[in-house]
């Protein structure tokens, strides 16, 4: 993957801004000593490890791309929060049911997501929505999922969530 100097600079700048805002919020001390110390630390961290936070993937050519991807990610987060609440109520209903109607099983399915970040996002999303738990992902991008009930596993296999994750990172392959 070709990386040019302009991408590096944008990456360092963005990481610096995020780190510095975090520093300011967490320290809550706004005098000149603490802020300049924070700026120095943020700059060092941004210089050495910006590529861990801002991935130099093929889709990022302009700052607008980063903004658009972030916007999509926020939309997805809100959808996910809705799912989390919806299916949490589902699990609570199972737990409080006197008969405890569970039918656990471990299923697997293949995904065609482009890169590691997308795979990890899907894995965490699956675990966050109750009733499904990511056990493992292997080299062939096969997910192994533990489901609490058969119905929840079937819902997952419909692939709605995967399509949404793919839509965020769509341009990233």
- CB count in 10 Å sphere of residue 159: 12
* 20-49 binders of other proteins (CB under 8 A): 22, 25-26, 28
- The dihedral region occupied by 4, where left means phi > 0, alpha psi between -120 and 50, and beta the remainder, is beta
Q: Which of 43, 84, 117, 157 binds other proteins (CB under 8 A)?
A: 84
Is residue 107 at the binding interface for other proteins, with CB under 8 A as the rule?
Answer: yes
Q: Which of 5, 32, 33, 100 binds other proteins (CB under 8 A)?
A: 100
Is residue 106 at the binding interface for other proteins, with CB under 8 A as the rule?
Answer: yes
Is residue 99 at the binding interface for other proteins, with CB under 8 A as the rule?
Answer: no
Q: Which of 34, 83, 141, 144 binds other proteins (CB under 8 A)?
A: 144
> Buried (b) or exposed (e) across 107-137, using 16+ Cβ within 10 A?
beeebebbeeebbebbbebbebbbbbbbeeb
Question: Interface with other proteins by CB under 8 A: which residues?
Answer: 22, 25-26, 28, 84-85, 88, 91-92, 95-96, 100, 102-108, 123-125, 127-131, 133-136, 138, 144, 146, 148, 150
């Amino acid at each position: 993957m070709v990386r040019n100097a302009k991408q590096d600079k944008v990456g360092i700048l963005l990481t610096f801004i995020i780190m510095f805002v975090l520093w300011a919020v967490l320290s809550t001390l706004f005098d000149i000593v603490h802020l300049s110390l924070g700026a120095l630390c943020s700059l060092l961290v941004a210089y050495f490890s910006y590529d861990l936070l801002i991935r130099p993937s093929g889709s990022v050519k302009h700052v607008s791309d980063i903004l658009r991807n972030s916007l999509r990610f926020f939309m997805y987060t809100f959808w996910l929060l809705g799912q989390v609440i919806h299916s949490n109520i589902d699990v609570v209903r199972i737990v409080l049911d006197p008969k405890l109607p569970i039918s656990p099983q471990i299923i697997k399915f293949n995904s065609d997501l482009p890169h590691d970040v997308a795979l990890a996002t899907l894995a965490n999303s699956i675990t966050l929505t109750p009733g499904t738990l990511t056990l493992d992902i292997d080299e062939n991008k096969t997910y192994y999922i533990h489901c609490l009930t058969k119905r929840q596993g079937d819902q997952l296999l419909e692939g709605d969530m995967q399509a949404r994750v793919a839509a965020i990172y769509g341009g990233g392959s």
